[in-house]
Amino acid sequence: MKPAHDKVHTQELLHTLYSMAFLVEVRDPYTGGHLWRVSQFSTRLALACGLSKRQAVIAGLGGFLHDLGKVGVPDSILNNTGKLSDAEYAVMKTHPALGAQVLQGHPLAPLAMDAVLGHHERIDGRGYPAGLTGGKIAETARIVGIADAFDAMTSTRPYRKGMPVAVAIEQITVNLDAQFDLNFGHCFIELARSGELDGIIGHSDIGIPLHECPICGPVVVVQRKHKGAAAEFRKNSTLSL
């Protein structure tokens, strides 16, 4: 058993990782809780597939940190809501490697490295940055890749409305064993159909539903009764490794 002071130290180090992740979110606040949702989807998917609690925690951490490298992508590309040019897309595709570079000096880097580096790899080898295939892609990266794509599809952004869950599930289904891992994909589809993810889809990182503003896109409505919800969320999200 680890001594208590080791546990405290690990918790403090984990919080520094979360702070790094939030740097990405403040660069692109319209994603409103994307990292939290990807983290939640990843943890639940890992558990639903029978992975250990530790692996699920690592998947959740990877979900939070996966886009860390976007801190190094220029705003003109990051906030471009239209189609990226080939040159812009090439810059965007550097974010996994940039994230790995930022992360590598951190004492807990090995816990999140797979997700940061591999979440855009595809089972068929058509992903990036390395074009890895199938089982050569780390398990955590395969999990986070599904969670990330599902949230991207179901989230409403100022410039487009999120897809209904059933349509997003259909998209995952048709891309099984091509973009997405077959087993994790099946597991995720079952999980999404079960309704277990309903409290996460379309919610902010403090668990408050995102409401759509007809003028400026989604906004978070924080009611008086939710005061203190942020502190509560942080308390509940404390991880033990």
Give the interface with Fe ion as residue ranges (CB under 5 A): 67
Q: How far is the CB of 92 from Fe ion (least distance, A)?
A: 8
The Cα 163–Cα 212 span in angstroms is 14
> Which residue is associated with the tokens 């999404």?
192
SS3 per-residue string spanning 86-132: HHHHHHHCCHHHHHHHHHCCCCCHHHHHHHHHHCCCCCCCCCCCCCC
- Tell the smallest beta-carbon distance from residue 65 to Fe ion (Å): 11
Residue 63 or 202 with smaller CB distance to Fe ion = 63
Cβ-based nearer residue to Fe ion, 25 or 67: 67
Cβ nearer to Fe ion, comparing 44 with 119:
119
The CB-of-111 to Fe ion minimum distance in angstroms stands at 18
Reference 23, options 63, 65, 56; nearest CA is 65
Nearer to Fe ion, 67 or 151 (CB): 67
Pick between residue 67 and residue 121 the one whose CB is nearest to Fe ion: 67
Query: Within a 13 Å sphere around the CA of 166, how many CA atoms are in the beta-carbon half?
Result: 0
Local structure of 213: helix, strand or coil = strand
The residue among 149 and 239 lying less far from Fe ion, judged by its C-beta, is 149
Q: Residue 211 CB, nearest distance to Fe ion (Å)?
A: 26
What is the nearest approach in angstroms of Fe ion to the Cβ of residue 119?
Answer: 6
Query: In whole angstroms, how far apart are CA 95 and each of 129, 160, 181, 197?
Result: 9, 23, 22, 28
Helices (H) and strands (E) in the chain, counts: 11, 2
User: Quick count: other Cβ atoms within 10 Å of Cβ 129?
Assistant: 17
Q: How far apart are CA 208 and CA 51, in angstroms?
A: 28
